């Protein structure tokens, strides 16, 4: 079970990269076509996907998450030291 939990950030990162590649390709294709309804549909999809990506840093995909966690632990250790 621990092995699976350790691989979750890798899966999340792969999902994010694949989703962004598809979003970029879809945006390029619909911008070439004259139909405006396609633009709206892809725009809505990309917006929803970006909301999911903003939620994902809580799962460890954001490289700054580790730095923030280390800073938090340092501050916590300093505050627990007797004065």
Query: In tens digits, what is the pLDDT along the chain, a chain of 83 residues?
Result: 667 767 777 777 788 888 888 888 888 888 888 888 888 888 888 888 888 877 765 655 556 666 767 777 787 777 767 65
Total domain count for the chain? Answer: 1
Cα separation values, 81 from 68, 75, 76, Å: 20, 10, 9
Residues of the domain holding 31: 2-80
Q: Find, among 18, 23, 15, 14, the residue nearest to 48 by Cα.
A: 23
**pTM of this prediction exceeds 0.85:** no
């Amino acid at each position: 079970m621990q092995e699976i939990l350790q691989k979750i950030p890798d899966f999340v990162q792969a999902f994010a990269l694949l989703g962004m590649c598809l979003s970029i390709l879809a945006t390029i294709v619909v911008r070439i076509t004259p139909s405006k309804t396609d633009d709206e549909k892809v725009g809505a999809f990309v917006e929803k996907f970006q909301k999911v990506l903003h939620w994902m840093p809580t799962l460890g995909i954001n490289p700054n998450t580790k730095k923030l966690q280390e800073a938090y632990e340092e501050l916590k250790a300093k505050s627990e030291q007797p004065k």
